[in-house]
Structure 1
Amino acid sequence: MKFKFRFVTKIPTAAPTLEDIMLKGDADETWVAVFEKLGVLLADIRKSFDAADASKVFESESIGKQTRLAEWIDKIDDSWDNVTKTINPESRLKNLDFEINHPRRQAADVLGRANCVCLDNFITKNIQSQTDQQYVQVNLNEICLAYGPLGIEVAILLADILIKYHQQLTLEHNIRYVTSDCAKNFGRSFNTKFGLNASDRRDFWTKVSLLTGWEIIRRVNEDEALCKWSREAQTDLDDIFEAGLRLISNRLIESIDFMIPVALAELY
C-alpha cells in the first residue's frame, strides 16, 4: 500500500493515532510500510528543513535552544540514582563509569552540536494512520521545534518504536516481530533517502544508537503517560530501561541492522 503524508493542525479526537493502533495490535500489516515512508519523510525534512522553513510551516512556534533530551542530560550528573530514580539495577553494572558516566558525557557532546532545526517529539502519538485511507497525518500542533544534532529525530522515533515493542508484551497475540521490522525498515529507508557514504553512515548510527538509548532512559524517568501505562498494566519498566542501557553501553553499533537486535536482545 502506498501512503501520502500531510501535516494537519489537529487530529480528530475519534481518529486513532499510530500509537493507539500499535498498542492494540491492530492493522499490523500496514505498519512496516508506514514506517518506511516515515524514514523517507524525515530524510527529506533533514535535507532541506532550516529555520526559515520552520517559520513558514510553524507560524507561531518558537525554536527551543535545546531538545528535551539535551536539557535532561544537562540536569543529571554522575550519580546513578539521579539517572534511574525508581529503577536501579546498579548491582548488575560491572563498570559504572564505562557503562553510564562515559556514555552520558558522549551524549552531552553530541547533543551540544545543535546545528539542525529538529522536530523534538516526532513520535507515534502525534501521527495518525488509518488503514482505509492513503494518508498518514502528522499533527503540527503537538510538534515542538528545537535546535539539535543530525539524527536526533531518528533517535526519538526509534526510541518510541522500541518502547512500543516492550509495551506489546502485554498483548495476547505476538505482533512484536512486526514492530522490530518497523524499526529496521524505518532506519533503512532513511539511509537510502538521505544518502550518507559508508563512513558517515557508520558514524551516524553510532551516535543515533547512543541518543536512542538515552531517550529511552529519559522517557522511563519522565514520561508521565508511560508511567501511567505501567501502573495500569501492572508491568514494570525494567525491560524498557535495559533496552536503553544496552544501547548506551555498546560502542560497536554502526548500522540499524545491528542496533535493533542489540536493543531488543535478539539474535543477530
Structure 2
Amino acid sequence: MMPSYYAPRGGLPGQQQLLTDRAVFKDAYAVIPRGTMRDITTSYLPFWEGTRLWVIARPMTGFAETFSQYIMEVAPGGGSDRPEADPTAQGVIFVVEGQGRLTLAGEAHDMGEGGYAYIPAGTDWSLTNPGDEPLRFHWIRKAYQAVEGIDRPEPFVTNERDVAPIPMPDTNGAWATTRFVDPTDLRHDMHVNIVTFEPGGVIPFLETHVMEHGLYVLEGKAVYRLNDDWVEVEAGDFMWLRAFCPQACYAGGPGRFRYLLYKDVNRHMPLRLG
C-alpha cells in the first residue's frame, strides 16, 4: 500500500464555525489539532525565502525540553542557503508534499514525498523548491549531545519506501515501526521513526518512559490514551508528550493509522538541572 501523508494548507475558517475544538494543553501532554494550523498561526525564519512555517513544538522548561518541530511550507523558487543558525543543532527533514532539492555536505539530493534526511550538527546544507507546487516538510531539531570516544553520526538521505517496516513482536504485523536509524547505534541521540497500526492494532499497555515524544499523525485516525485521558486524533493532528506521560492507542480504522515519531535516546540523564 502506497504511503499517504497529510499536510496543512492554512486558510481561515468562516465566522460561522463553532469555537469548540480538540486543542488542549495539559501538564503532561498537548494536542494540537490540524484545524489550528491556519494562516494567522504561521511564523517566518531569517534567511528563508518564500517560506512560512507552523511551530508545533519547542523546548519548554517543565514540559518537553529536548526538541523543536516545524511544519515548513516553501513556495516554488523559495528556500534557503543559510537554513540553520545554531551550529549545535542536528536535524531531520521528512517531506510530506511536493519536491525539494537538498544539498547536504556538498551533495545534491532530489527529495519527494516520503523523503527523509538526517543532518548532523555543524553540517553545511541548503534546501530549495525547484517545482511548481509548494513543498511541505517536517523539520525536527535537537541540540546534539556529543560523547567523548563516540564518533558523530554521518549525514544520510533516504525515502520511507526504501526502508522496510519492522513488525513489533507478537502483533501479527498489526503494529510496525519504520526505523531510519539502528537503535543500537550510540552515535545517535534522537530517533525519528514512522509508526504504523493496521485497523484494530493497539499499544497493549500504558507506555511510561523517560523519552519525550512528538507524534504527528500522517494518516488515519485512532483513540489515543494520554495520561488519564482518551483523545480522538486524526491525520494532521500533533501530540506533544513530556517524559513519563502514560500513553497507549487503539487504531479503529477503517484504514491504517500512522504517525511520525520523535524521541530522545541513548544518553545519560543529567544530574544537575540548568
The structure with more strand, counted as a fraction of residues: 2
The structure with more helix, counted as a fraction of residues: 1
With structure 2 as the length reference, what TM-score do the two structures score? 0.24
With structure 1 as the length reference, what TM-score do the two structures score? 0.25
Greater RCO structure (CA 8 Å; 6+ sep):
1
